[in-house]
DNA sequence: CATGAATGAGGATTCATTCAT
DNA sequence: GATGAATGAATCCTCATTCAT
């Protein structure tokens, strides 16, 4: 490793790493206590520094959630877009989108919890306009998949896709509330069962 | 209406009615802004009185949510218990419990939203021990229904009932987040489609 | 005094009086310590209440200076406009404007001190746009008086009126820095000597 | 340039130069934003370094103003003392002192602004005792000139010299607030007009 | 000489709560 | 029943200052 390399690491990269570490801590705390109910001091305590020190790295408590959520959403849409661009049929697209969602939960669990619990309130703030935009795309994406599935005869025609969409929208992230990476069921398996339940129902045939 | 009757109304009954009205207002505000983020003043504003005046009726902000949630849960369990005591099979019990849940959403929408969003945080407080107790009974109840359904051959045996329970636990209340009593779909119809989806899946057969 | 009258007094008027009293206290403190260097707690201490209590009456520290300054400026311009509208010659107008200024110092001493010391910094804030507007009118007004005096042959033509204006602009309020209503010299007398100095100079003739 | 020479520069002299440069920057910022309202970081930004780096050169924010003000005052009193020691009459002394003051404004504009705006507040701090001492000498000096002028029959006897002194004390530095070295009027000319105004008045004769 | 990260005291502001009227 | 004024603890954030590198 050259000195130059080390030098750049000790500035830009190290700074970014520190930020990322602090954000991971903050996300954990926001997720478990709720954003509004979490004090900056609690985040700092969890990070082992003093409250004021957080402001060397971040402008405000708000900018922390902002970064947490936008990082997650950016990555999520990249994954969704990969799926949507691969020319799959409605059913396969459904399966892959769900699978990606559970991978996101695996990777960004606290961010997903925050997204679930707080995005409705945060979206009122212009700064978080991208939350509404994301919500809009999400709806558009899922409705398209469901409608196409109905057209192709893959999905039942007697169900209101608007209704189904709403259930999926909310349920797809719900596992974030209880999922533990170290639990008995891996994300893959949870996704598989979720898909089986939604596609085929829980009745035996 | 006799003067005596009116007099009693203006004390016990009228007092209770006023409380109920204020709680309805408070529930609305807590549901839309989030409990932690709602100020007592916002509740009072919505009720058309001053912040301090709420303290004539309630001990604290906390006692307001407390009453909102416990009223809802008491009623909910009464309805659940009626279903559970009527000797139905697993599938019918499933259907009736879900139907009751949607009726609850219809009747207690703001309370359900608060329950969904805040009960995890509130449960840390000993005062809200009944939330954990309720959660425990909910889990016990639903697992029993699912397990019995599997035993009876009504439900698929290849799904993890623990997993299915968690989805149901969360999804059954989710509609509270967007349901509007004056919307196009009545609670009954939403329940019907929800049941159809969970029981039979969304695939066409 | 009718009950109705007393009632109205105990609401609107009493509230206004309390505000005015607190503002007088705040003005005193801002004037003596400097606005930026004054803490809200110091203002509250001076008023005999706790820091937080000030926020029942005012939105912010800023809104306090705002009200202090705008009240003063409104009254000042009313007085100036009376003089300007009375059709006096340049010299008499000069004398009367100066006299009014010293009366303002007498009545609004702390506000004038704040105006002198802080308006340049505050004016950067859009909320205090009226400070710039007031400055503009002040300049326009005094330049008109001076220029007309030169035209009429009352004032010397060999002095730069732009320069003279600047001296007057600043000096007219300067006495606020040391004037004490209970000192040996009444405002009238100070104004008289100021006028004599500026009009005739300090040389003996 | 010998290595030795360069070496000495990079220690004593260069250090002093760096300090002077940083102080000039600091004075500029303090003057434009106000001392209390200026953050150390703003000074550092203006100097192109980081906040903490200033502490290599100075003990504290306070020591910066201290050095700014004492440098200015030392130089000012040297100039004043030269005038006072040259045996001039009251009128000439008046003229020369005013001329020196305007030269000071030309050379130390930001320091003079700070002196005008902050010295009253800073003087409360024992460290800045010399500000009060300077104020005392200033008063003594000017009163002596004025009183002697009255005795000698050069200045009018009907004006309160205590009052005149106060106007001069404040006005003599006021131009610092708006003077620009690159403006149309040189310091000399402003001084000339100021002297003409105060000595002879603005009335035409 | 300068940086970057942190400290810790303090500052403006919010808010649940109290209480005399 | 409600008001209006106040309390006081807690919150977010700022900033002068320190110090290892």
Closest CA-bearing residue to C1' of E12: C40
Nearest nucleic acid nucleotide to A36, CA to C1' distance? F11
Q: Is the pLDDT of residue D131 over 90?
A: yes
Nearest residue, CA→C1' of F2? B53
Closest residue, CA to C1' of E19: B52
C31 token code pair: 């004037």
> Which residues 22-61 of C interface with strand F at a CB distance below 7 A?
49-53, 55-57
Q: Which residue of C has its CA nearest to D170?
A: C174
| % of residues, chain B, pLDDT over 90 | 80
Give distance CA C136 / C1' F14 (Å): 34
Smallest CA–CA distance from A205 into chain B, residue: B156
Statement: residue D204 has pLDDT above 50:
yes
**What percentage of chain A carries pLDDT values higher than 70?**
95
Contact call for residues B117 and B100 (beta carbons, < 8 A): no
Query: Residue D11, CA: closest nucleotide via C1'?
Result: E1
Q: What is the pLDDT of residue B95?
A: 96
The domain D60-205 belongs to what CATH superfamily? Tetracycline Repressor, domain 2 (1.10.357.10)
Closest CA of chain B from A116, distance in Å: 9
User: Around Cβ C32, how many Cβ atoms within 10 Å?
Assistant: 17
DSSP collapsed to 3 states, B134-199: HHHHHHHHHHHHHHHHHHCCCECCCCCHHHHHHHHHHHHHHHHHCCCCCCCCCHHHHHHHHHHHHH
Where are any strands of DSSP class E within chain D? none
Q: Does B179 touch chain A (CB under 8 A)?
A: no
Helix, coil or strand: residue C133: helix
Confidence of residue D10 (pLDDT cuts 50, 70, 90): low
A1-58 belongs to which homologous superfamily? Answer: Homeodomain-like (1.10.10.60)
* Chain C: residue whose CA lies nearest to D37: C36
Q: Is B37 helix (H, G, I), strand (E, B) or coil?
A: coil
Q: Is the pLDDT of residue A9 over 70?
A: no
- C61-205: in CATH 1.10.357.10: yes
pLDDT class for A4, splitting at 50, 70, 90?
A: very low
pLDDT value at position D6?
A: 52
CB atoms within 10 A of CB C186: 13
Residues A185-200 have a mean pLDDT of 92
Residue D145 CA to residue D92 CA, distance in Å, equals 10
What confidence score (pLDDT) does residue C58 get? 97
Rounded CA-CA distance B161/A181 in Å is 20
3-state secondary structure (DSSP) of residue D81: helix
Structure confidence by residue, pLDDT tens digits, A90-131: 999 999 999 999 999 999 999 999 999 999 999 999 999 999
Q: Which of C157, C202, C205 to mutate to test the interface with D (most CBs of D within 10 A)?
A: C202
Closest-approach residue (CA) in chain A for B170 = A174
Which residue in A153, A159, A178 is closest to B197 by CB distance? A159
Radius of gyration, alpha carbons of chain B: 20
Give CATH 1.10.10.60 domain extents, chain B. Answer: 1-58
Tokens 């019918």 identify what position?
A: B92
Mean pLDDT over B28-36 rounds to 97
CATH 1.10.357.10 intervals, chain B: 60-205
- Give A56 to chain B, closest Cα distance, Å: 26
pLDDT digits (tens, 9 = 90+) for D44-68: 999 999 999 999 999 999 999 999 9
**How far is the C-alpha of C27 from the C-alpha of C111, rounded, in Å?**
6
Distance from the C4 Cα atom to the nearest Cα atom in chain D, whole angstroms? 48
| Sequence-distant (≥ 6) Cβ neighbours of residue D100 within 8 angstroms | D76, D79, D80, D83
The whole-angstrom separation of Cα B11 and Cα B7 is 7
Cα of A71 vs its chain's centroid, Å: 9
Chosen for mutation from D30, D186, D202, D203 (greatest number of chain C CBs closer than 10 Å) is: D202
Query: pLDDT tens-digit profile of C78-97?
Result: 999 999 999 999 999 999 99
Q: How would residue A26 be classed by pLDDT, with cut points 50, 70 and 90?
A: very high
* Chain D contact for C188 (CB, 8 A cutoff): no
Q: Between C and D, how many residue pairs show a Cβ–Cβ distance under 8 A?
A: 118
Nearest nucleotide relative to A44: CA against C1': E6
User: Strand (E) positions, D15-85?
Assistant: none
Does A202 reach chain B within 8 Å, measured CB to CB? Answer: yes
Instruction: Give me the mean pLDDT over the C38-57 stretch.
Output: 97
> Would you call A124 an interface residue with chain B, using a CB distance cutoff of 8 Å?
no
Cβ partners under 8 Å of residue B89, min gap 6: B152, B154
Name every chain C residue with its beta carbon within 8 A of the beta carbon of D166: 174-175, 178
Subunit contact A203:B121, Cβ cutoff 8 A: no
Q: What is the pLDDT of residue D109?
A: 95
Q: Does position B6 have pLDDT exceeding 60, yes or no?
A: no
User: Using CB atoms, which chains have 3+ pairs under 8 A with B?
Assistant: A
- Alpha carbon distance B118, B137 (integer Å): 18
| Per-residue pLDDT band at C9 (split at 50, 70, 90) | low
Answer whether A166 touches B (CB < 8 Å).
Answer: yes
Instruction: Report pLDDT for A143.
Output: 97
In angstroms, the CA B60 to CA A56 distance is 37
- Nearest beta carbon to residue B201 from set A118, A153, A199: A199
- Exposed/middle/buried for residue B98 (C-beta within 10 Å: 0-12, 13-18, 19+): buried
- Is it the case that residue B101 has pLDDT exceeding 50? yes
Q: Which nucleotide is nearest to D57 (CA to C1')?
A: E1
pLDDT of C101-159, one tens digit each? 999 999 999 999 999 999 999 999 999 999 999 999 999 999 999 999 999 999 999 98
Backbone angles phi, psi at D41, to 5 degrees: -65, -40
Q: Which of B173-182, C58-67, D19-28 has the lowest mean pLDDT?
A: B173-182
B52 touches strand F (CB under 7 A): yes
Residues 54-113 of C with CB under 7 A from strand F: 55-57
A and C touch with 3+ CB pairs <8 Å, answer no
C34 touches chain D (CB under 8 A): yes
CATH 1.10.357.10 domain extents, chain C: 61-205
Spatial neighbors of B48 by CB under 8 A, at least 6 apart, are none
- B128 has pLDDT over 70: yes
Contact D34 C36 (CB under 8 A): yes
- Chain D residue whose CA is closest to C158: D193
Mean pLDDT (whole number) for A70-87:
98
CA D52 to C1' F19, whole Å: 10
Q: Which of residues 50-89 of B touch A (CB under 8 A)?
A: none
pLDDT band at residue C187 under the 50/70/90 scheme:
confident
Cβ-based burial of D36 (10 A; exposed 0-12, middle 13-18, buried ≥19): middle
Using pLDDT thresholds of 50, 70 and 90, give the confidence band for residue D161: very high
At B202 the pLDDT is 84
* Rounded distance in angstroms from the CA atom of residue D22 to the C1' atom of nucleotide E2: 14
Name the residue in chain B with its Cα closest to that of A204. Answer: B156
Please indicate if any CB of chain C lies within 8 Å of the CB of D190. yes
Higher per-residue pLDDT: D11 or B151: B151
Which of the nucleotides in strand F have any atom less than 7 Å away from a protein CB atom?
1-20
Q: Do B201 and A198 touch (CB under 8 A)?
A: yes
**CA nearest to nucleotide E9 C1': residue:** A52
How many Cα atoms are found within 13 Å in the side-chain-facing hemisphere of C182? 0
**A119 and B CB contact within 8 Å:** no
Question: Does position B5 have pLDDT exceeding 70, yes or no?
Answer: no
- Rounded CA-CA distance D43/D30 in Å is 8
Q: Which residue of A has its CA nearest to B114?
A: A117
């Amino acid at each position: 490793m050259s000195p130059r390399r080390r030098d750049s690491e000790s500035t830009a990269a190290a700074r970014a790493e520190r930020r990322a570490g602090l954000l991971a801590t903050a996300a954990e705390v926001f997720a478990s206590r709720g954003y509004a109910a979490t004090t900056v001091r609690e985040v700092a305590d969890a990070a082992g520094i003093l409250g004021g020190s957080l402001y060397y790295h971040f402008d405000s408590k708000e900018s922390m959630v902002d970064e947490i959520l936008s990082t997650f959403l950016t990555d999520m849409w990249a994954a969704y877009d990969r799926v949507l661009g691969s020319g799959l049929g409605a059913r396969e697209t459904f399966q892959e989108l769900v699978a990606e969602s559970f991978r996101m939960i695996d990777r960004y669990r606290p961010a997903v919890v925050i997204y679930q619990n707080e995005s409705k309130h945060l979206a009122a703030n212009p700064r978080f306009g991208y939350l509404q935009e994301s919500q809009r795309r999400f709806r558009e994406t899922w409705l398209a998949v469901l409608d196409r599935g109905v057209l192709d005869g893959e999905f039942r025609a007697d169900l209101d896709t608007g209704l189904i969409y709403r259930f999926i929208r909310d349920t797809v992230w719900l596992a974030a509330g209880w999922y533990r990476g170290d639990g008995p069921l891996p994300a893959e398996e949870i996704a598989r069962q979720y898909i089986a339940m939604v596609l085929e129902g829980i009745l035996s045939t």
